[in-house]
């Protein structure tokens, strides 16, 4: 390979690292290592909705008087406005999870600006004023960080994932992962939309098993807005 071509590749790689990869790693590391572990509290969060499964999930949460934080995709918000209203009216937290669920690592600055502006407009038209943001796959770029700062949005990651979106998993496997992995102060990331082979249905089935066990173990459930960070 010619030196000029190597230089171009190195420049492009460096730009990619600085634009999205390094900021994403910093955000995830900072968030996962900073939390209050002194109390039996779980922060239950759901990404990729709303969807046709969200009402069933809300019924389950209501049964156990559990409040959760929902990070919603803008276009799905437009598709399910009544579900969004129910989430809001029942005291759950609503945050932003992008407009179309695109990776921030692949989004240009111009698209990133549009992503935030259109999603905030869609939610604002429903009377929702989000204060929290989680990028798809937890990824950010320099422009998404800038937009969260401009719009007063706190960036949210997670501590626990159960791979509930996978098409080859089961409700039992998801439940086992949640029980084994979740500790005091953890932010649990699950999904009430998208995923393979009706994935949200398996997530809800897993929670039917896990929620009573967590409650029996003395765990309480809080919104992301109630989370204490140990910086």
Over residues 215-228, mean pLDDT: 94
Q: What is the pLDDT of residues 44-60, one digit of tens each?
A: 999 999 999 999 999 99
Q: Domain boundaries in the chain?
A: 3-226
Superfamily of domain covering 3-226: Glycoside hydrolase/deacetylase (3.20.20.370)
Q: What percent of the chain has pLDDT over 70?
A: 90
Would you say 140 and 20 are in contact if contact means Cβ atoms under 8 Å apart? yes
User: Residue 226 above 60 pLDDT?
Assistant: yes
For residue 8, the model assigns a pLDDT of 37
Give the catalytic positions in this structure.
47, 191
DSSP states of the chain as a string?
A: --HHHHHHHHHHHHHHIIIIIHHHHHHHHHHHT-S--SS-EEEEEEEEE--TTHHHHHHHHHHTT---EEEE-HHHHHH-HHHHHHHHHTT-EEEE--SS---GGG--HHHHHHHHHHHHHHHHTTT----EE--GGG---HHHHHHHHHTTPEE---SEE--TT-TT--HHHHHHHHHHH--TT-EEEEESS--SSSHHHHHHHHHHHHHHHHHHTT-EE--GGGPPP--
Which pTM does this prediction carry?
Answer: 0.92
pLDDT digits (tens, 9 = 90+) for 195-217: 888 999 999 999 999 999 999 99
């Amino acid at each position: 390979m010619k030196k000029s071509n190597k230089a171009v590749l190195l420049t492009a790689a460096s730009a990619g690292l600085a634009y999205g990869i390094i900021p994403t790693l910093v955000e995830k590391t900072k968030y996962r290592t900073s939390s209050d572990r002194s109390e039996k509290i779980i922060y239950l969060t759901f990404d990729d909705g709303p969807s046709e499964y969200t009402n069933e999930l809300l019924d389950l949460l209501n049964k156990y008087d559990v409040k959760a934080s929902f990070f919603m995709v803008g276009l799905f918000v437009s598709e399910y406005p009544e579900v969004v209203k129910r989430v809001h009216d029942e005291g759950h937290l609503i945050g932003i999870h992008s407009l179309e669920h695109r990776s921030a690592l692949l989004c240009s600055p111009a698209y990133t600006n549009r992503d935030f502006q259109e999603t905030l407009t869609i939610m604002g038209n429903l009377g929702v004023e989000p204060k929290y943001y989680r990028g798809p796959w937890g990824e950010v770029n320099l422009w998404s960080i800038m937009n969260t700062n401009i719009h007063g949005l706190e960036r949210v990651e997670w501590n626990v994932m159960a791979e509930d979106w996978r098409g080859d998993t089961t409700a039992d496997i998801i439940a086992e992962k949640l029980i084994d992995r979740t500790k005091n102060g953890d932010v649990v990331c699950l999904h009430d939309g998208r995923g393979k082979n009706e994935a949200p249905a398996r997530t809800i089935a897993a929670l039917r098993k896990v929620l009573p066990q967590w409650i029996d173990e003395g765990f309480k459930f809080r919104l992301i807005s109630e989370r204490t960070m140990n910086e």
